Structure 1
């Protein structure tokens, strides 16, 4: 499981952390979560100890990674986190490990596979409670995520960016009613734009991303 790079302006030091809901959801789905340090030079050694990789939500992916100048409403970026997660992802893919991407994780996977992002969507899903089920997604086809979700699913989302050009190696398997990409699949990977870790208990129908991830280990 990847983790965020945070800083404390008062104490003048950096530290790491992630929402406990990710670890709780992985554990409840049958996984044993481990938090990974922000050490790009250790990425290959870290991945050698893993069975799979979860890329979590967080700040915006730096647009220079997909060849764009920053949008005026680009949010916070964390270049160290981008570097670490890119190294972890590439090492995991080289070893053939299953990958789950959530929110930012989906966006980063799309970028690392050669896709691009819309840097800002006006009034899309910001300003709502993180666990509020606010809009429908519709699954397409018979992929692994579709097998673990109802065709029409009410989800929680909190993002101001979205997939623009889909990477050649990825397939769109769910969209919102207004056409935005909500889920992607590739060989050995599943990615969702919403936050199933925050609705794991109160909306069991949304937890399918974790069970789909576990199926990749079979």
Structure 2
């Protein structure tokens, strides 16, 4: 059976009405990779989150606004914007629960940052203000399917096993980045000036985060689908090992 992939979402208020939203490119990338996408709304019930995790075989943490600096022990600088405590707390909880349960986790852009904070790491709140010599990472008028800058990949990494290349070109839409790494995480890719562009767990079978947006590249640049295929295939292994998770305990390792 196809693995079920939980995809995080965000709330957006339009015409005085709140909508649960997620970019369709995330959903499409999971479908193209052989998974079944399930959108996880922002809710205020920890037990319900655990039930979602019992249902799914993999967790995709999507992109979006800034992670609240107070969650990693800092006050916000003037460049921090679009904070949602509800989303931050839910996604950090999902990440922590999923890692304890052995569920594969794939984080994209903000999702990478959530993984790092969930494991005790910190972030640069604005790379252009806090890192000298920062190059372009957040173009204002570039299509999301355009390659923008180069990334060097550590050959001793899961990311290299996926791409089989030590340098690739990616798109880029971020102003924050990893500062100190969370416990058990390693940096597996860097931009030219040394900004962390990918992280992965050294202790779990599949916890991977990338700072770019591969979901927007898969149609025009098919090699980026390999990231989602690797994630979905790892989630499939969990499904096959655990069987029908609705009839198992949540800690099926």
Same topology, TM > 0.5 = yes
* Equivalence for 1:15: 19
Residue 14 of structure 1 aligns to a residue whose secondary structure is strand
User: Which residue of the other structure, out of 128, 147, 151, is the alignment partner of 2:161?
Assistant: 147
- Bigger fraction of residues in helix: 2
Equivalent position SS for 2:52: helix
Alpha-carbon separation, structure 1, partners of 2:97 and 2:117 = 16
State the distance in 1 between where 2:63 and 2:146 align: 16
Shift, 1:212, TM fit: 2.4
Q: Which residue number corresponds to residue 125 of structure 1?
A: 138
1:60-108 deviation per Cα after TM superposition (whole angstroms, max 9, x unaligned):
0011110000111112111111122122222212211000000000001
The 5-angstrom pairing of residues 72-151 of structure 1 reads 72-122=78-128, 124-127=137-140, 128-149=142-163, 150-151=165-166
Task: Tell me if 1:189 matches 2:210.
Answer: no
| Residues in 1 aligned to 2:36 and 2:159: alpha-carbon distance in whole angstroms | 21
**What's the TM-score, normalizing by structure 1?**
0.94
Corresponding residue number in structure 2 for 1:53: 59
Q: How many angstroms apart in 2 are the aligned matches of 1:136 and 1:204?
A: 17
SS of match in other structure, 2:38: coil
Q: Does residue 200 of structure 1 match 2:218? A: yes
3-state DSSP of counterpart to 1:39: coil
Q: CA RMSD in A?
A: 1.3
Aligned residues between the structures: 216
Describe the SS at the equivalent of 1:40. Answer: coil
In structure 1, what is the Cα distance between the partners aligned to 2:182 and 2:125? 16
SS at match of 1:88: helix
Computing the radius of gyration over CA atoms, which structure comes out larger, 1 or 2? 2
Structure 1 residues 148-187: aligned runs within 5 Å: 148-149=162-163, 150-186=165-201, 187=204
Which of 16, 29, 36 is the aligned partner of 2:40? 36
Contact 1:137/1:182 (<8 A) preserved: yes
Cα shift at 1:46: 1.1
Q: Structure 1: any 5+ residue segments left out of the alignment? A: none
Distance 1:202 1:52 in 2: 25
Residues 100-129 of structure 1: CA deviation (Å, up to 9, x unaligned): 000000001000101000001225323133
Give the corresponding residue for 2:12. 6
Q: Give the TM-score normalised by the residue count of structure 2.
A: 0.82
Partner of 2:243: none
